[in-house]
Structure 1
Amino acid sequence: MMKLRIARAGLALTLLAMAGAPAFADASSEPEAKAESASKPSFVAADFDVPTLVEAEGFKIVPLGPDLARIDFDAYMSSIEHLQKTFSRSPSWPHEGISDADAMLDMQTEQARFSKRTSFAYAVLTPDGLRERGCVYVYPSTVDGYDAVVRMWVTKAEYDAGFEAALYNWVTEWIEADWPFENVAYPGRSVDWQTWDALVAQNKARDAQ
């Protein structure tokens, strides 16, 4: 049993109204799935209390939102090349040209999706909440056999310190213990990228028929 103190959502979050723009995490191998998730029904049951604060040894996680725009921006902009290689696998995110307005829109979009329960994006913060060590994303799967997909990243400094492996191990235990999913994909980890990309392409081709 993980030694966690979990604050559960009892009331809906108060959110800004949003235009349907994709958040930065859409720059992944399956952007269509993430972009469409904002308009799809919830992929967790209405009576499931989505975690809004989880505290663990050396870090805590909270939902991404406008109040975290600056420290989130500072985190990913400190690790542009690292994240292009390890997370987005693309130069589309992050990149030097991201503006403060872009960063804020990303946070508003993620917050709106969290409120609609269509996907859940979390910041991984230091215990004092002053620095972001990385992020974790939980969203529906478009691949048959999986009911959820979990992605994550850490900054270059945290990666070099070995935190990525520690975070992955913790997240897999957290998802198994506290989320209602039967089969979860961790692309690039539990499923290698070549296999995952092929499965995504296969499902897209089937849906296009």
Structure 2
Amino acid sequence: MSLERNLADLRRHAEHFARRVGFTYSVLEASGDEVIGCVYMYPARDNEAVVEVHSWVRADRAELDKPLYEAVSAWLATDWPFPEVRYAPRPR
């Protein structure tokens, strides 16, 4: 992705966050110095009361995919008011 396209993408996510129509979070290395993934939360197209969640981690941090999924799932269940969350489960 070009720097220009990445900047436009970041601006779009910031605007969605400000309007509270979608939420995008960077996943940082424990030191806080490096982005190692992202989490996206947006209303489902077929039902705005349902949130669809997508996340990724960099290939060199692939072992963190399932722990990220578990942490985000727990956070959504305890701290967010969504009646339904669609977040594809990870393999065991």
Equivalent residue in structure 1 for 2:51, among 145, 148, 153: 148
In the TM superposition, what is the alpha-carbon distance from 1:128 to its structure 2 partner? 2.6
In the alignment, which residue of structure 1 is the partner of 2:28? 125
1:129 aligned counterpart, secondary structure? coil
In the alignment, which residue of structure 2 is the partner of 1:45? none
1:140 aligned counterpart, secondary structure? strand
TM-score, normalised with respect to structure 1: 0.41
Residue 69 of structure 2 is aligned to residue 185 of structure 1: no
Greater RCO, 1 or 2 (C-alpha within 8 Å, sep 6+)? 1
In the TM superposition, what is the alpha-carbon distance from 1:127 to its structure 2 partner? 2.9
Q: Give a deviation string over 1:19-39, Cα, whole Å, max 9, x none.
A: xxxxxxxxxxxxxxxxxxxxx
The structure in which a higher percent of residues are strand is 2
In the alignment, which residue of structure 2 is the partner of 1:106? 9
- CA–CA distance in 2 between the matches of 1:180 and 1:158? 30
Residue 15 of structure 2 is aligned to residue 115 of structure 1: no
Q: Which has the larger radius of gyration?
A: 1
Number of equivalenced pairs: 90
In the alignment, which residue of structure 1 is the partner of 2:40? 137
In the TM superposition, what is the alpha-carbon distance from 1:141 to its structure 2 partner? 1.0
Q: Give a deviation string over 1:111-130, Cα, whole Å, max 9, x none.
A: 01100101000000023321
In the TM superposition, what is the alpha-carbon distance from 1:174 to its structure 2 partner? 0.3
- CA–CA distance in 1 between the matches of 2:71 and 2:2? 32
In the alignment, which residue of structure 1 is the partner of 2:71? 170
In the TM superposition, what is the alpha-carbon distance from 1:149 to its structure 2 partner? 0.7
TM-score, normalised with respect to structure 2: 0.88
In the TM superposition, what is the alpha-carbon distance from 1:147 to its structure 2 partner? 1.2
Large movers: runs of 4+ above 4 Å: none
Unaligned runs of 5+ in 1: 1-97, 191-209
In the TM superposition, what is the alpha-carbon distance from 1:103 to its structure 2 partner? 1.0
